[in-house]
Copies of this chain bind each other. A is one copy, B any other.
Amino acid sequence: MGGIHDFVSVSSSELGRILSISQQSASKRILELLELGLLTRDLGARSQRIKITRTGIDSLMKEYADFKRIFELKDQLAIRGTVTTGLGEGQYYVQQKGYLDQFEKKLWFLPYEGTLNLRIESADLVKLNILESSEGILVDGFESEGRSFGEVRCFSAKIRGVECAVIMPVRSHHSNVLEVISKHHLRSTIGLEDGDLVELIVYL
C-alpha cells in the first residue's frame, strides 16, 4: 500500500478486510510487528498511520531475493579447474554449526565433512568475477568460541552431474581456488584425484 515509502493511513478494520482477518487480529498483528521493530506507527486519536521500518524492508527483500532466485535464475556458468588439496582449513570452517544450520536451510543439504578445492584455469578466472558480482545465496556470519566467522556467498552447482555448491567468503582477497561442498564425498563418489580436470556448472 506504499508503506515502504511513507506513512500510510490504514485502520485496523480496513487492514482486517484486506487480509481477510478480523479487526482484532489485524490490530494485534500491527502490535506484534511494532514490537518486532518491523513497523513504525503514528497513532492519532481517530486514525493511525503506518510505515515499514528499514528492518522490515530488509526482511521483505530477503524473501523477494528467494523468489527471484527461484524464478529468474536460469543462467549457468561452466568453470574448469583442477582438483587440488587445500590446507584442510575449509573443512574446519564448513563444519561450524553456525554455517551447517544455514547450509541445510538455504542449500537444502548438509555438506560432507570436507571441501573439494578446485584450482581454476586462468582462462576461466574472469568467471570468478562474475560470481563475485552476483548475489548468490548469502549465509550470515556469526561468532563462536570468541572467533568471528564471516558472511559467505554460495552458489548451487554440479560436478559431473552431482549436486554441490560453491562457497566463497564475501570479504576476502581474490583467489584462484574455489571451494566446493556437497552432500557426498566427491573424491570417492565421482572418483576424483589431485590433478584431475573437471568442469563445474555453477547456477547464478
Interface residues, chain A, CB within 8 Å of chain B?
Answer: 1, 4, 17-18, 20, 60-61, 63-64, 67-68, 70-71, 104-105, 108
Min CB distance, A165 to chain B, in Å? 13
Among A17, A68, A70, the one with the most B-chain Cβ atoms within 10 Å of its Cβ is A70
Q: Is A67 touching B60 in the complex (CB atoms < 8 A)?
A: yes
User: Which one of B17, B64, B104, B108 contacts A71 once the chains associate, using CB atoms below 8 Å?
Assistant: B64
Min CB distance, A115 to chain B, in Å? 22
18 contacts between A and B (CB under 8 A): A1-B108, A4-B70, A4-B71, A17-B104, A18-B104, A18-B105, A18-B108, A20-B105, A60-B67, A60-B70, A60-B71, A61-B71, A63-B67, A64-B67, A64-B68, A64-B70, A64-B71, A67-B67
**In the bound complex, how far is the Cα of B108 from the Cα of A10, in angstroms?**
9
Chain B residues with Cβ under 8 A from A67's Cβ?
60, 63-64, 67
**In the bound complex, how far is the Cα of B104 from the Cα of A20, in angstroms?**
11
Min CB distance, A48 to chain B, in Å? 15
Chain B residues with Cβ under 8 A from A104's Cβ?
17-18
**In the bound complex, how far is the Cα of B63 from the Cα of A67, in angstroms?**
9
* Known contacts A61-B71, A63-B67, then 8 further A-B pairs from the complex at CB < 8 Å, ordered by chain A residue: A4-B71, A17-B104, A18-B108, A20-B105, A60-B67, A60-B71, A64-B71, A67-B67
**In the bound complex, how far is the Cα of B66 from the Cα of A4, in angstroms?**
13
Min CB distance, A98 to chain B, in Å? 16
Min CB distance, A49 to chain B, in Å? 14
Chain B residues with Cβ under 8 A from A1's Cβ?
108
Which 6 pairs show the lowest CB-CB distances between chains A and B?
Answer: A64-B67, A1-B108, A18-B105, A67-B67, A64-B71, A17-B104
**In the bound complex, how far is the Cα of B68 from the Cα of A173, in angstroms?**
34
Chain B residues with Cβ under 8 A from A61's Cβ?
71
Chain B residues with Cβ under 8 A from A105's Cβ?
18, 20
Min CB distance, A47 to chain B, in Å? 15
